[in-house]
Structure 1
Amino acid sequence: MEIVVRTLTKNDWSSVSKVYKEGIATRIATFETEVPNWNQWDAKYFSICRFVATIDSKVVGFAVLAPVSKRQVYKGVAEVSVYVSKAFKGMHVGETLLKKIINESEANGVWTLQASIFSENTASINLHLKCGFRVVGIREKIGQLDGVWYDNHFLEKRSSKID
């Protein structure tokens, strides 16, 4: 089984939205409750550093970056999102995507990556730690989903290539 990572395009949206919908259904991947349309989703993320992972030409995961602020001083800080289809969890898809987006983000001038992960999502927290992120803190009761308050682990990775 070979994992191929390539640039995410609009043509991938149908597959990407299905993977995202699976993440929404877990109730520990995002506070979103519905899959947006392509234009809404596209506007939320940087146009750089958008990747899909494929196995046998099937999209099985994706990784993207979102700006954390519109202020110029934070232009090199991005929030990373990684989603993997439930049928391919534990097969190093997330790790492959996260390593790719780390390398490409640094090549594109991003000096800090952030991740805000549900505290219950230990697999994602462990993946980020394995890839060099550190826990900065826990944001207690940062948001509600289905009437339940959730904590998020807040993680970051500072580039070792950008001073």
Structure 2
Amino acid sequence: MTSSLIVRDATDADLPAIRDIYNDAVEHTTAIWNDVLVDVDNRREWLAARVTRGYPVIVAERDGTVAGYASFGDWRAFDGYRHTVEHSIYVDKNARGGGIGETLMRALIERARAIGIHVMIASIEAQNAPSIRLHEKLGFRTVGTFSEVGTKFGRWLDLTCMELRLDPTR
């Protein structure tokens, strides 16, 4: 029996799972360049801020369990960047490699198009080859790599920046 994957808007009930996925990435990966774990109240404030700005927070649910989440938000805080967003996608450690990230990314792209976003930005730790390949598969192009702009786990990290133009006619 194959289980189905449901992509839907996140709710308050999803926040413990979102927190757990986020904290696992903080503790064990270079996907998030933070060192501090968060609690449900932190994720509640984050969700409220995204919703207030009209930005989606979506989850991928399999068999009643949140297997990943994704969102996008302002790329930069200045008015001139209002048509550009930066996204985040995180998949539960036990569900990676099964297409959930791609499913969430495709849903985010459609949500961005629906609200008139012109460009999506991806900022990816330069050694994260699976994420870079996924973004390339979905049409993102690499626009540059910043060297040693962050640290985690006692080492310098490079940041690869990618972009996807959603409405090339604008």
Q: TM-score, normalised by structure 1?
A: 0.92
Q: How does 1:61-140 map to 2 (within 5 A)?
A: 61-140=68-147
Determine helix, strand or coil for the equivalent of 1:136. strand
| Structure 1 residue aligned with 2:15 | 13
1:38 is the counterpart of 2:77: no
Q: 1:44, CA displacement in angstroms?
A: 6.0
In structure 2, distance between residues paired with 1:132 and 1:160: 13
Q: CA deviation at 1:162?
A: 5.8
Please provide the CA RMSD for this pair: 1.7
Matching residue's letter, 2:26: I
Structure 1, unpaired ranges of 5+ = none
Q: Deviations over 1:44-68 (max 9, x none)?
A: 6454221000001100000111211
- The answer to whether the 8 A contact 2:47-2:57 is kept is no
Count the aligned residue pairs: 163
Unaligned runs of 5+ in 2: none
- Tell me the distance in 1 between the aligned counterparts of 2:166 and 2:104: 17
Cα deviations by residue, 1:82-124 (Å, 9 ceiling, x for unpaired): 0001111111100000000001111011111001111121111
Q: Distance in 1 between matches of 2:15 and 2:44?
A: 10
SS for the counterpart of 2:25 is helix
Whether 1:3 aligns to 2:5 is yes
Moved segments of 4+, more than 6 Å = none
Deviates more, 1:6-15 or 1:42-51: 42-51
Mean CA deviation greater in 45-54 or 101-110: 45-54
- The verdict on how the C-alpha distance between 1:29 and 1:92 changes in structure 2, with shifts beyond 3 A counting, is same
Residue type of the alignment partner of 1:118: E
Tell me, yes or no, if the aligned pair for 2:12 and 2:44 is still in contact at 8 Å: no
Percent identical: 30
